[in-house]
Amino acid sequence: MSYSDTECPYCDGGQEINHDDGYGYEEGQTFEQECEKCGKTFVYSTYISYNHEARKADCLNGEPHDYQPITTYPKIATKMMCAMCDDERQPTLEERVKYQLDVGEKLFFVTELANILQEVKRTNL
């Protein structure tokens, strides 16, 4: 029990805020809760904090996007994602050749075909 939402102002005991029925989520209001440790009633207000992580995005400032393939299987479904702005798009023909995106797909079909052949053989026996 190391996690607690806040501390009791009377005994400093860690408190888990009871949000049953959505109670206590509204910002700028005062809510009440009884301390689990010392039994005194304290009030609390809720603040929702948003964290923003800022990154450089040169591609939005005149530089070209830095599209990299996102690894998926089969490879033909691979999409390109910009490492800077996270924009996604389909790979171009050049990129398909460059990253050999179609090779994996052919391999996929060969494997599938082998499986089917095996299945046919098995059912014929």
Residues that bind Zn ion (CB under 5 A): 8, 10-11, 13, 35, 37-38, 59, 65, 82, 84-85, 87
* Total residues belonging to the chain: 125
17 vs 82 by CB, closer to Zn ion: 82
Q: Residue for token digits 């964290």? A: 51
Contact criterion met (CB below 8 Å) for 21 and 15: no
CB of 98 to Zn ion, least distance (A): 18
**Number of C-alpha atoms within 13 angstroms, CB side, residue 58?**
6
CB of 43 to Zn ion, least distance (A): 13
33 vs 78 by CB, closer to Zn ion: 33
CB of 84 to Zn ion, least distance (A): 5
CB of 72 to Zn ion, least distance (A): 20
17 vs 76 by CB, closer to Zn ion: 17
Q: Compute the distance between CA of residue 46 and CA of residue 91 in angstroms, rounded to an integer.
A: 46
Q: How far is CA 39 from CA 11, 33, 35, 36, 97, in A?
A: 10, 9, 5, 6, 69
59 vs 76 by CB, closer to Zn ion: 59
